[in-house]
Amino acid sequence: MSEPVEDSPGAAFAAALAGLPGMGPATLVAILRQWPPEEAWARVCEGSLRRPDARGRRAESEQFAWSDDGHPRQPKPAWRDAAGRLDPPQWWAYHAARGIRVTWPGQPSYPRALAMDHQLPGVLFWRGSLAWLDSPCVALVGTRRASPDGRAVAFEMGRDLAGAGVCVVSGLALGIDAAAHLGALRAGEQTGAAGPVGVAASGVDVVYPRQHARLWGQVVAAGAVLSENLPGRPAQAWRFPSRNRVIAGLVKMVVVVESHSTGGSLITAEAAIARGIDVRVVPGPVHSPASVGSNQLLYDGPGPVRNAQDVLDGLGLFLSAAKDRGAPATSRTENLGAEARTVLDAVGWRPTSLNQIVERPGLTAARAMALLDDLEARGLVGRHHDWWVRRRPS
Amino acid sequence: MLATVSSAILTGVEGRPISVEVHVSTGIPSFTVVGLPDASCREARDRVRAAILSSGLKWPQHRVTVNLAPTGVRKGGAGLDLPIAVALLAADGQLPLESLGGMGFLGELGLDGSVRRVPGTLALVDAIPARCVVVPASGAAEAALVRRHVVRPTPGLRHLAAILRGEDGWPPIMAADQPTPDRPRPDLIDVRGQPLGRLAVEVAAAGGHHLLLVGPPGAGKTMLAERLGGLLPPLDTDEALEVTRIHSAAGIHLPQGTLIRRPPYRAPHHTASLVSLIGGGGVYMRPGELSCAHNGVLFLDELAEFPSDVLDTLRQPLEEGRVLVCRARASVVFPARVLLVAAMNPCPCGSERGPGSCRCRDATRYRYSARVSGPFLDRFDLRVMVDRPEVSELLPPGGEWATPESTATVGARVAAARLVAGGRGVRDNAAIPGSRLDELAPLQAGARLLLETRLRQGRLSARGLHRVRRVARTLADLEGSTGPVGADHVYGALALRAEVFQPEEAAG
């Protein structure tokens, strides 16, 4: 459900300005702070717009017509040429008809959290509804190559946070990001839940990764997908770190669910720390390669969180309907036979191959398979390709 | 004067009778070979001349024409050296013509007059229509395996000429019939841990199911595959003769004077070309590695490194147990009934120890697994993930381990199970046709319910169902239960059917 927002008249020109060659966020912000988009565009067309200093000092006033290194600032001819080839209203009508909206600093729809940022995006394109960003926002980020356990944590956390009215922000990537979005979407089925917001590194109409086409559609329908990049721009490696700073800027807290020793989620965490935004980490198994980075981060300082309740505590919020989080794991395993218990112990909490399970004395492959089938039906173990892992029944 | 002797040439693994006719007449001295000889055959002229002169015989100063009949067939190889030399000497009057009656000859000549063994002796001798065959001494034992001819060994041309003139007697065949002691084969007793891998190898041997081992480097995939050959029962006489004939034609070293009784084990490197695997090439059409592994094990290590078109050409021969190789000049049927064992890494970096643990990108992993096509992957009834043993499995924590089962113990179970399977009128359980599964591998109620559930959940395909049922039949045979297949056996079969490759599930 997209908002029935009428684009403000300058939308087409603001978007067109963002598409000028070599236009970066700082320059764009400086231009848009100085002139309304239509006027800025007119100046570009006539070739009289001098590129403002990136820090936003007025280029028109005589004293700043010279850059720091003493050369006069010239209008960029490339901008004028590019502007001459484009009719912004016609071009933008195409995208607007496809549900794409744009906002820039100073507009009422521009996210308030970002407006205060020191590296704020010059424009933001979005599909869906940005209203969700007015609720408290939490970013759930993590590795693309996640363990089943990490996925489960991200899913549950996304579900419970969204259910508590917290807007879950993530990056629409494989692994943890997708699980967090899916969890938030699951919660969207109940009332009072907040919609998810996905921040893309590509244009909002370029699905990346491609197998997430359905997920994008669902997120747009229930929440919003936004991006500072022009519609149609592909996902390129250098766009991801700047995407991550947008995520960090949008939220009150960044939760790193699982991260390899290097990874984009660590960049998001760094960006959040630089902004004084809370970072929390979900502890992972010490031996798991998928948790090396997140555990290192945890060791370096940020506190741990175990579930949505911990996140809400950190935000100073309360879970509306406190869920019973007793110890179901033990009660559900009580009526298991000795053999099944052996298998359950052999599976353990990290991914285990069938080979390792069958190595337990007294178990044949057939028997182990039968017991695993039963345990899986009871929801006590999960299967991921050919790896088995114990699950907490929920 | 004209002399004719019979000999044979090799096409694929079959011999083809050739009649060598030599005509010596007056005229300008010359030596011509006609009848489509290839380069190696035309070179016979120089070898024959040198051998005759070295053996103290006379080179005729006449016009000599050698014809190789039938003339329409291309002839290659040096096996015709000896028949050409003998026929030439007879035509020149240096040997009595009547001494050649009912004799066939086979062998390559050295310049000193010695006679050398040629590849494919077994098949060649089989094809020679004569009653008595003269072969090089080193190939006599092999030639004797045919058991239809009187086999006469000859050490050299000089000696042979003396015998044919009646000045000497035939030397006896060297009593080489004592089997050379087999090289010790790797034994299953050396494999620590790997319960699933051991079971898979046993089931593969018992039911003839193709086996795919997936695991990181150093997990023991090759170790398991090498031990599979030892589990197969020894070949019976017909099989042994067939295998020996193929190996002889391919020029592979044969055990001295005996049939190949052990199922062969061939492990071609992944740079193997298409023709070298399937067979063909040259005038002879040499059998490929696939045929060399006939009645034994073909092991393809690093399966994903094989070019995919090479792998896909294996599909049809694997199904049919033979391969028809056609060229413009000839088409040859090679036997190709093998037990295929393949090994590969789960991903290019090979360090996977659980989901999320390796650093390969999803796209990379997907591309890697896609190198093995779906239909080819489908040929494997058994797919097993082998992981690196833990430290505690390699070094005993305190005392000793229980000794693992040896090849002899497991082999006995395999032989018993194969006997049961053979009683059903099929070669092995993997060959049970889908239409006869209900008759030969009926299901107990529990097993039926389990399979129905899996099918309904979409976790088993219709084709997968047949394969699981065949493997379950083998598991039942190994346990000695001849009745309907139980749920236990189906569970076992499912345990041996890992979902090795699945592209990362789309979250959306």
Instruction: Assign 3-class secondary structure to B341-373.
Output: EEEECCCCCCCCCCCCCCCCCHHHHHHHHHCCC
Q: Are B502 and A385 inside 8 Å of each other by CB?
A: yes
Q: Are residues B94 and B242 in the same domain?
A: no
Select the more confidently predicted residue: B224 or B367: B224
- Taking contacts as CB-CB distances below 8 angstroms, the residues of chain B near A150 are 356
| Residue B63: burial class (beta carbons within 10 Å; 0-12, 13-18, 19+) | middle
Q: Are residues B269 and B135 in the same domain?
A: no
Q: Are residues A263 and A344 in the same domain?
A: no
Q: Which of A339-343, B134-138, B225-229 has the lowest mean pLDDT?
A: A339-343
Last residue of a domain, one of A264, A288, A315: A315
- Do the Cβ atoms of A379 and A336 come closer than 8 Å? no
Q: Are residues A84 and A161 in the same domain?
A: no
Q: Are residues A163 and A291 in the same domain?
A: yes
Q: Which amino acid is at B315?
A: R
- Which pair of structure tokens corresponds to residue A107? 């507009």
Composition of chain B by helix, strand, coil, percent to 5: 40, 20, 40
Q: Is B70 strand, coil or helix? A: coil
Q: Is B28 in CB contact (< 8 Å) with chain A? A: no
Total domains present in chain A: 3
Q: Name the residue in chain A with its Cα closest to that of B354.
A: A351
- Which pair of structure tokens corresponds to residue B113? 């007059």
Q: Are residues A305 and A210 in the same domain?
A: yes
User: Residue B283: its pLDDT value, please?
Assistant: 72
- Residue A177: count of CB within 10 angstroms of its CB: 31
Q: Are residues A307 and A332 in the same domain?
A: no
Predicted confidence band of residue B174 (pLDDT cuts 50, 70, 90): low
Q: Which of A385, A389, A390, A391 is best to mutate for the B interface (most B CBs within 10 A)?
A: A385
Q: Are A355 and B196 inside 8 Å of each other by CB?
A: yes
Supply angle C-alpha B374, B375, B380, rounded to 5. 95
Predicted confidence band of residue B216 (pLDDT cuts 50, 70, 90): confident
Q: Is the peptide bond before A108 cis (omega within 30 degrees of 0)?
A: no
Measure the N-to-C terminal CA separation of chain A; round to a whole number of Å: 31
Q: CATH number, domain at A253?
A: 3.40.50.450
Taking the CA of residue A312 and the nearest CA in chain B, the distance in Å comes to 26
Q: Are residues B158 and B200 in the same domain?
A: no
Q: Is residue B172 part of a domain?
A: no
Q: What percent of chain A shows pLDDT beyond 70? A: 87
Torsions phi, psi of B24, nearest 5? -120, 125
User: Residue A242: its pLDDT value, please?
Assistant: 92
Q: Are residues A159 and A285 in the same domain?
A: yes
User: Residue A392: its pLDDT value, please?
Assistant: 73
Largest CA distance in chain A: 88
Residue-wise burial string across B28-54, b where 16 or more C-beta atoms lie within 10 A, e elsewhere: eeebebebbbeebbeebbebbbbbbeb
Q: Are residues B376 and B328 in the same domain?
A: yes
Q: Are residues B17 and B122 in the same domain?
A: yes
User: Residue A59: its pLDDT value, please?
Assistant: 46
Q: Is residue B174 part of a domain?
A: no
Residue-wise burial string across B272-303, b where 16 or more C-beta atoms lie within 10 A, e elsewhere: bebbbbbbbeebbbbbbbbbbbbbbbbbbbeb
Q: What does the DSSP 8-state code read for residue A206? A: S
CA distances from A74 to A36, A78, A81 (A): 21, 11, 14
- Beta strand ranges found along chain A (DSSP E): 101-103, 124-128, 137-141, 167-170, 197-199, 224-227, 253-256, 278-281, 352-353, 381-384, 387-390
Q: Is residue B169 part of a domain?
A: no
**Any idea which residue has 């094989």 for tokens?**
B306
Query: Quick one: CA dihedral B227, B228, B233, B238, positive or negative?
Result: negative
Q: Is residue B395 part of a domain?
A: no
Q: Is residue A138 part of a domain?
A: yes
Q: Which of A382-386, B177-181, B278-282, B401-405 has the lowest mean pLDDT?
A: B177-181
Residues 6+ apart with CB under 8 A from B120: B10, B13, B15, B79, B245, B248, B249, B251, B284
- Do the Cβ atoms of B497 and A202 come closer than 8 Å? no
Q: Is residue A2 part of a domain?
A: no
CA distance B36 to B42: 9
The predicted model scores a pTM of 0.75
Give the CB-side neighbour count of residue B435, counting CA atoms within 13 A. 0
Q: Is B502 in CB contact (< 8 Å) with chain A? A: yes
- Taking contacts as CB-CB distances below 8 angstroms, the residues of chain B near A356 are 387, 390
- Do the Cβ atoms of B231 and B198 come closer than 8 Å? no
Residue among A290, A353, A355 minimizing CB distance to B356: A290
Q: Are A211 and B504 inside 8 Å of each other by CB?
A: yes
Section B213-241 average pLDDT: 89
Q: Is residue A64 part of a domain?
A: yes
CA distances from A387 to A372, A381, B118, B416 (A): 11, 10, 54, 34
Predicted confidence band of residue A6 (pLDDT cuts 50, 70, 90): low
- Taking contacts as CB-CB distances below 8 angstroms, the residues of chain B near A359 are 193, 195, 393
Q: Is residue A79 part of a domain?
A: yes
Q: CATH number, domain at A355?
A: 1.10.10.10
Q: Are residues B213 and B125 in the same domain?
A: no
Q: Which of B232, B233, B229, B231 is nearest to B297 (CA)?
A: B229
Taking the CA of residue B396 and the nearest CA in chain A, the distance in Å comes to 14
Q: Are residues A293 and A231 in the same domain?
A: yes
- Do the Cβ atoms of A369 and A354 come closer than 8 Å? yes
Section B253-259 average pLDDT: 73
Q: Name the residue in chain B with its Cα closest to that of A261.
A: B359
Q: Are residues A269 and A158 in the same domain?
A: yes
Q: CATH number, domain at B471?
A: 3.40.50.300
Q: CATH number, domain at B85?
A: 3.30.230.10
Q: Are residues A296 and A166 in the same domain?
A: yes
Q: Are A212 and B193 inside 8 Å of each other by CB?
A: no
User: Residue B195: its pLDDT value, please?
Assistant: 87
CA distance B153 to A43: 105
Predicted confidence band of residue B256 (pLDDT cuts 50, 70, 90): low
Q: Are residues A92 and A155 in the same domain?
A: no
Taking the CA of residue A350 and the nearest CA in chain B, the distance in Å comes to 8
Q: What percent of chain B shows pLDDT beyond 90? A: 44
Per DSSP, chain B holds a count of helices (H) and strands (E) of 20, 18
CA distance B264 to B260: 8
Q: Which amino acid is at B252?
A: I
Q: Are residues B159 and B201 in the same domain?
A: no
- Do the Cβ atoms of A107 and A14 come closer than 8 Å? no
The answer to whether residue A31 scores a pLDDT higher than 70 is yes
Q: For residue A362, give its domain range.
A: 328-390
CA distance A313 to A161: 11
Query: Quick one: CA dihedral B38, B42, B43, B47, positive or negative?
Result: positive
**Any idea which residue has 């030969």 for tokens?**
B440
pLDDT digits (tens, 9 = 90+) for A308-367: 989 998 888 765 554 444 444 455 566 788 888 888 888 887 778 888 888 777 788 888
Q: Is residue B24 part of a domain?
A: yes
Query: Quick one: CA dihedral B126, B130, B135, B140, positive or negative?
Result: positive
Q: Which of B259, B254, B266 is nearest to B292 (CA)?
A: B266
Q: Is residue B298 part of a domain?
A: yes
- Our CA dihedral for A215, A218, A219, A223, rounded to 10 degrees, sits at -170
Total domains present in chain B: 2
The answer to whether residue B207 scores a pLDDT higher than 80 is yes
Residues 6+ apart with CB under 8 A from B472: B441, B447, B485, B489, B490, B492, B493
Q: Which of A333-347, B121-135, B238-252, B294-308 has the lowest mean pLDDT?
A: A333-347
- Alpha-helical regions (H) of B32-96: 39-42, 44-54, 81-91
- Taking contacts as CB-CB distances below 8 angstroms, the residues of chain A near B475 are 366
Q: Which of B259, B311, B260 is nearest to B290 (CA)?
A: B311
- Which pair of structure tokens corresponds to residue A261? 């020793």
Helix axes B462-479, B445-456, angle to 10 degrees: 150
Q: Which of A220, A243, A226 is nearest to A103 (CA)?
A: A226
- Taking contacts as CB-CB distances below 8 angstroms, the residues of chain A near B364 are none
Q: Are residues A86 and A151 in the same domain?
A: no
Q: Are residues A295 and A179 in the same domain?
A: yes
pLDDT digits (tens, 9 = 90+) for B8-57: 998 888 899 999 999 999 999 999 999 888 888 888 889 999 999 999 99
Measure the N-to-C terminal CA separation of chain B; round to a whole number of Å: 89
Predicted confidence band of residue B215 (pLDDT cuts 50, 70, 90): confident
Residues 6+ apart with CB under 8 A from A196: A132, A158, A162, A167, A168, A169, A170, A180, A181, A184, A185, A188, A219, A222, A223
Residues 6+ apart with CB under 8 A from A24: A54, A122
Last residue of a domain, one of A49, A76, A99: A99
Q: Is B105 strand, coil or helix? A: strand
Q: Is residue B175 part of a domain?
A: no
Stated as kind and residue range, the H or E segment containing A155 is: helix A148-163
pLDDT digits (tens, 9 = 90+) for B273-315: 899 999 887 777 889 999 999 999 999 999 999 998 899 899 8
CA distance B196 to B194: 5
Torsions phi, psi of B215, nearest 5? 180, 165
- Taking contacts as CB-CB distances below 8 angstroms, the residues of chain A near B356 are 143, 145-148, 150, 175, 258, 288-290, 351
Q: Are residues B131 and B208 in the same domain?
A: no
Q: Is residue B382 part of a domain?
A: yes
Q: Is residue A190 part of a domain?
A: yes
Q: Are residues B484 and B437 in the same domain?
A: yes
CA distance B437 to A327: 48
Q: Are residues B62 and B201 in the same domain?
A: no
Q: Are A370 and B199 inside 8 Å of each other by CB?
A: no
Q: What number of residues does chain A have?
A: 394
Q: For residue B145, give its domain range.
A: 2-164
Q: Are residues B429 and B289 in the same domain?
A: yes
Select the more confidently predicted residue: B288 or B359: B288
State the complex-level ipTM.
0.76
Q: Are B502 and A218 inside 8 Å of each other by CB?
A: no
CA distance B225 to B303: 13
CA distances from A287 to A292, A349, B284, B353, B354 (A): 8, 12, 58, 11, 11
pLDDT digits (tens, 9 = 90+) for A238-291: 999 999 999 999 999 999 999 998 888 999 999 999 999 999 999 998 888 889
Section B124-152 average pLDDT: 89
Q: Are residues B157 and B279 in the same domain?
A: no
Residue among B354, B491, B504 minimizing CB distance to A370: B491
User: Residue A338: its pLDDT value, please?
Assistant: 84
Beta strand B108-109 with B115-116 is antiparallel
- Residue A315: count of CB within 10 angstroms of its CB: 17
- Do the Cβ atoms of A256 and A294 come closer than 8 Å? yes
